[in-house]
Amino acid sequence: MGEFVRLEVEAGVGTIRLERPPVNALNDQVQRELAAVAREASERDDVRAVILYGGEKTFAGGADIKEMAARSYVEMSSFGADLSNSLTALAEIPKPTVAAITGYALGGGLELALTADRRVVGDNVKVGQPEIQLGIIPGAGGTQRLARLIGPSKAKDLVYTGRFVKADEALAIGLVDEVVAPDDVYAAAHKWAAQFAGGPAVALKAAKAAIDGGLDMDLRNGLKLETNLFVALWATEDQRNGMQSFIENGPGKATFEGR
């Protein structure tokens, strides 16, 4: 367990919680701790789904600008690669993930949220990629994951202008998936994640690998990836249990072991 980032696990749901007041800025230590908990969440069998959460007040305000401003080009070459790799480790958690966003998610904070499969926000949040206002661009997924999520034209608007986006617009353009009252953000994210606690873990892992991997391929190779992952599930206990339960009891009643 790190000083600023920790993994809490209850009933199959793991919560990756950031606690670096006042705004959860992503400095060197935070990015290292994020990478560490991403590996832990990936490896633990008792974690079936993951919530990214920055607390009740704010999700994450981005990188630590004071720390970054003092760095040389050589130093930033190392930090930039490490930050990108840390967020990629979160994106590659082979389980359903959801970001529970309160307050705001800006710059690196939005890039952190983009690593999740789903984003739940309070109706008072603001999100954005304001790096252009500092004379730089997003450097940890804000030009790549954002464009893949909402399309290049909308991504360019947000990145070029650096403007803040309110919850209603973020929902309309597909940047977030659910808007709730501010006090209900974590509960709504937990409700979504908890449905996978007893799910077929291997099949869920395959589904995520097929969707995410396919986005990096042309359709023909994506379909080959899908077929290989689909067929491989016939080596699992969950496939046998799921199909036998369907035959005997109908849909939606199977008990899965995650094997």
Instruction: Check if 40 is active-site.
Output: no
CATH number for 5-194 (one of 3.30.70.2970, 3.30.70.270, 1.20.1260.10, 3.90.226.10): it is: 3.90.226.10
Per-residue pLDDT reduced to its tens digit, 181-240? 999 999 999 999 999 999 999 999 999 999 999 999 999 999 999 999 999 999 999 999
What is the third-level CATH fold of 201-249? Lyase 2-enoyl-coa Hydratase; Chain  A, domain 2 (1.10.12)
Q: Can you give the pLDDT at residue 250?
A: 87
Other C-beta atoms lying within 10 Å of the C-beta of residue 112 = 31
Concatenate the DSSP letters of all residues of 108-156 into one string: HHHHHHHTSSEEEEETT-EEE-GGGGGT----SSTTTHHHHHH-HHHHH
pLDDT at residue 254 in the model: 85
Question: Which member of 92, 111, 169, 237 is catalytic?
Answer: 111
Active-site annotation holds for 56: no
What average pLDDT does the segment 43-53 reach?
97
Choosing from 3, 56, 131, 226, the catalytic residue is 131
In tens, the pLDDT along 87-146 reads 999 999 999 999 999 999 999 999 999 999 999 999 999 999 999 999 999 999 999 999
Domain-wise residue ranges, the chain: 5-194, 201-249
In this prediction, residues 149-167 reach a mean pLDDT of 98
pLDDT number for residue 77:
87
